[in-house]
Structure 1
Amino acid sequence: MEAIIFCGIQATGKTGFYTSYFLQTHVRISLDLLKSRYREDLFLDACIKSAQPFVVDNTNPSKAERAKYISLANKHQFKVKGYYFRSSLTAALERNNLRTGKALIPKVGMLHTYRKLEIPSLEEGFDELFYVELDDKGFTIKTWDHEI
């Protein structure tokens, strides 16, 4: 049983990473997809009750926002892994500008998330943490080294 929590500002590759690494094995829990906390809670409850591995594919910028998922997963003996999507604000804004339609996030929304961003730590209750970086060659995953 595994709970994976993504953390990072918009346009850093979280959903693409999910598709590449977890699509076949983990349920995707995303506010972009589910549209409400009520629906998100239903999916979380179903995953917990059925011991189904899941990925929380949201920005989760603050410790307080991550705490809900970490606490629930720990309470039900899920292994909790965190993936921090490390990116400069400039690079994320550039990637976002390549988006169209509903996928294009207003700059003010990205800046708001960036200001709330708190780097995750093992002390929050994660069993493991990783850095993920996106470049023109794809994703690079690095083991957490407590440095940014």
Structure 2
Amino acid sequence: MPVFDPRKLTSVEYPNYKSNKHDIILMVGSQGSGKSHFCKKELIPNGYVHINRDSLKSWEKCVLMLEQCIGKKKNAVIDNTNPDKASRKKYIDIAKKHGVQCRCLVMSTSFEHCKHNNKFRGLSDKTHEVIGDMLLYTFRKNFEPPEMSEGFSEIVSIPFKPNFESNENEKLYKMFLLES
């Protein structure tokens, strides 16, 4: 039996991650873990400015955009993999410099589940670039679990919660895509 069984994916509720304070959220998770999906469904509709290296093309532009958001008193979410302390530090330091809390939301999606999600994304969304397994292995090798000592005001584990655009997509998702 495969390590990840998509048929057994149950409906989950997100833990309480909301805040009444001006804040920065730093997402942490592998490619395919559901970070961007969570941001689009949960954070952006609640007023968070989405900052992503894939769209901005460099971490320097992400830092600049974060500085602009803080200057305008806007909440922001950094939607990158942020696998290690070094990649997270630059954003935490900016939040500290401006006296803004920085919270960490860590995707709890398993390695095999991320591989499945990536395969599904490639089959169901032709506009989305498929991520090679090597990037997933690299994330896993370099991953350092976030710690409060890094400067976070809170660390919250976020489960993957599927949201299907059609019955066909749900049927496809529940297939053993990694077994082909």
1:84 is aligned to 2:106: yes
TM-score, L = length of structure 2: 0.71
TM-score, L = length of structure 1: 0.86
RMSD over aligned CA atoms reads: 1.7
| Structure 1: stretches of 5+ with no match in the other structure | 139-148
CA separation in 2, counterparts of 1:29 and 1:35? Answer: 11
Select the structure of larger CA radius of gyration: 2
Moved over 2 A (4+): 100-103, 135-138
Please identify which structure carries the higher strand content. Answer: 1
Identity over aligned pairs, percent: 30
1:6 is aligned to 2:48: no
| Structure 2: stretches of 5+ with no match in the other structure | 1-21, 165-180
Number of aligned residues: 138
Quickly say closer, same or farther: Cα 1:137–1:41, change in 2 above 3 A: closer
CA separation in 1, counterparts of 2:141 and 2:160? Answer: 21
Match of 2:66 in 1: 44
CA separation in 2, counterparts of 1:122 and 1:42? Answer: 25
Residue 113 of structure 1 deviates from its aligned partner by: 1.2
CA separation in 2, counterparts of 1:135 and 1:63? Answer: 26
Residue 40 of structure 1 deviates from its aligned partner by: 1.6
1:21 is aligned to 2:47: no
> Quick one: which amino acid aligns to residue 26 of structure 1?
Y
Match of 1:119 in 2: 145
Q: Partner of 2:159: helix, strand, or coil?
A: strand
Aligned positions of 1:104-143 closer than 5 A: 104-136=130-162
